[in-house]
């Protein structure tokens, strides 16, 4: 049901962008997925209810799905001699066998890890009274990281299996890399290596549940008029369900994301040179990121509000307090998206002002003409009376 909800809203926005908005009003991602015509009933039902993604997804755009169904996903595009015209030619359909085999191997290892290691390291043990009373702080930190690390393979298994099913049907081909190898990651939902080696909160989120993150970006973040980060996290919480743990996780995620963004923009450039200093910075940020992620998602696993607050209180809300202090003490730079939005607003205002001036000029010109015409009529009447 969650996948179908995503597909319906995604298709609605793709049609709206393609049929009711101008290209200059769209972001590059919106422009690339815009649908220029209404789909037929068969196309609509096929997109929402196809057997490959009806249970576990992953989400795909309508444009990518129809391109696959019509057999155009293997057509390569090349610029013409004038640099403007595009010539399409069909390349031999690549085999997905290697990609499917690799992903099934990842599924097997993830399932084995989940059935063995994950059960011996439950997340619930973080709020065990005996553990909280006897464990030292380093032990608590290490167990928090390891228990959440052990909780991730079940997601790796489900999303990788869903991706492999689509690839086996021929869906998910993105093109060829610089070495000429076929890429089957068009609708992949995660990148395990980047997740486990994330050195920032953003890097983790960009590689976790990728298709849902892109959906949230298209339908909320790029369209929000204010506080896009807060609105996007809140929408994600609503989409996941009604458990209080979801809302605690995503509200904490807002704070962690904003604090990490402020830290990175104010500190990172001091550690780029020499390479040894950058390596030190990467190691420290990896440790901090993994602890912050684990701290944030504990309520997502516990679901209930009482155990979630028991965990946060056992940590004395230390990362919440640290995040608030970072936002209060460090200057927050305006993001590129904010600048682009401001520029678009100014551009639209200037266009409207120019249009108003043009319309006023035309109105005054027509008014002057009317007055002159009226004076000419009165003069001709006087002359006729005199005659």
Question: Which two tokens mark 298?
Answer: 């504990």
Is 342 a residue of the active site? Answer: no
What does 270-303 look like in DSSP terms, one character per residue? Answer: GGSSSHHHHHHHHHHHHHHHHHHHHHHHHHHHH-
Phi then psi dihedrals of residue 145, to 5 deg = -65, -45
Per DSSP, helices labelled H in the chain are: 2-20, 28-33, 41-49, 62-69, 97-120, 129-134, 137-151, 153-168, 192-196, 201-207, 210-216, 228-240, 244-267, 275-302, 305-314, 318-329, 336-386
Active-site residue among 114, 167, 209, 320?
Answer: 209
Active-site residue among 240, 320, 340, 342?
Answer: 240
The answer to whether the CB of 110 falls within 8 A of the CB of 156 is: yes
**Cα separation of 134 and 157, whole Å?**
35
Residue of 312, 290, 314, 313 whose CA lies nearest to 299: 312
SS (H, E, C) 112-149: HHHHHHHHHCCHHHHHCHHHHHHCCHHHHHHHHHHHHH
- Dihedral of the CA atoms 81, 83, 88, 93 (nearest 10)? 100
Q: Calculate Rg over the CA atoms of the chain.
A: 29
**Cα separation of 54 and 59, whole Å?**
10
Is 240 a residue of the active site? Answer: yes
Q: How many Cα atoms sit within 13 Å of 139 on the Cβ side? A: 8
Provide the 8-state DSSP code for 358. Answer: H
Residue whose pair of structure tokens reads 């684990």 in the numeric block: 294
265: exposed, middle or buried (Cβ count in 10 Å: 0-12, 13-18, 19+):
middle
C-alpha triplet 224, 225, 226: angle, nearest 5°: 95
Phi-psi region of 316 (alpha: psi -120 to 50; beta: other; left: phi over 0): left
**Cα separation of 384 and 387, whole Å?**
5
Tally of CB atoms within 10 A around 282: 14
Q: Which residues are catalytic?
A: 209, 240
């Amino acid at each position: 049901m969650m996948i179908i909800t995503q597909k319906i809203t995604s298709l609605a926005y793709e049609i709206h962008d393609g049929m009711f908005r101008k290209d200059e009003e769209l972001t590059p991602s919106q422009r690339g997925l815009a649908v220029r015509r209404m789909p037929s009933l068969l196309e609509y039902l096929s997109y929402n209810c196809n057997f490959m993604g009806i249970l576990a997804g992953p989400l795909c755009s309508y444009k990518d799905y129809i391109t696959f169904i019509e057999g155009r996903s293997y057509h390569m595009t090349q610029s013409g001699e004038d640099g403007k015209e595009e010539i399409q030619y069909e390349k031999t359909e690549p085999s997905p066998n290697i990609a499917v085999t690799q992903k099934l191997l990842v599924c097997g290892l993830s399932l084995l890890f989940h059935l063995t290691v994950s059960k011996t390291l439950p997340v619930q043990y973080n709020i065990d009274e005996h553990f909280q009373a006897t464990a030292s702080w380093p032990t608590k930190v290490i167990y928090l990281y390891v228990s959440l690390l052990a909780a991730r393979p079940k997601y790796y298994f489900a999303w990788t299996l869903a991706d492999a099913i689509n690839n086996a049907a021929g869906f998910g081909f993105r093109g060829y890399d610089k070495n000429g190898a076929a890429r089957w990651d068009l609708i992949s939902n995660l990148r395990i290596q980047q997740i486990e080696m994330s050195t920032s909160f953003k890097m983790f989120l960009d590689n976790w549940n990728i298709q849902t993150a892109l959906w949230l970006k298209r339908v909320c973040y790029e369209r929000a008029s204010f506080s896009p980060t807060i609105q996007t996290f809140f929408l994600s919480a609503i989409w996941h369900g009604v458990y209080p743990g979801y809302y605690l996780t995503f509200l904490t995620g807002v704070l962690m994301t904003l604090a990490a963004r402020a830290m990175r923009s104010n500190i990172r450039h001091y550690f780029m040179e020499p390479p040894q200093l950058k390596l030190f910075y990467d190691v420290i940020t990896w440790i901090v990121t993994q602890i912050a992620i684990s701290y944030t998602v504990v309520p997502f696993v516990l679901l209930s509000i009482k155990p979630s607050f028991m965990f946060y209180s056992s940590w004395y809300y230390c990362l919440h307090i640290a995040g608030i202090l970072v936002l209060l003490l460090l200057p927050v730079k305006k993001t590129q998206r904010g600048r682009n939005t401001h520029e678009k607003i100014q551009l639209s205002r200037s266009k409207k002002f120019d249009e108003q001036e043009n319309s006023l000029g035309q109105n005054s010109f027509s008014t002057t003409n009317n007055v002159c015409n009226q004076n000419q009529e009165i003069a001709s009447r006087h002359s006729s009376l005199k005659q």
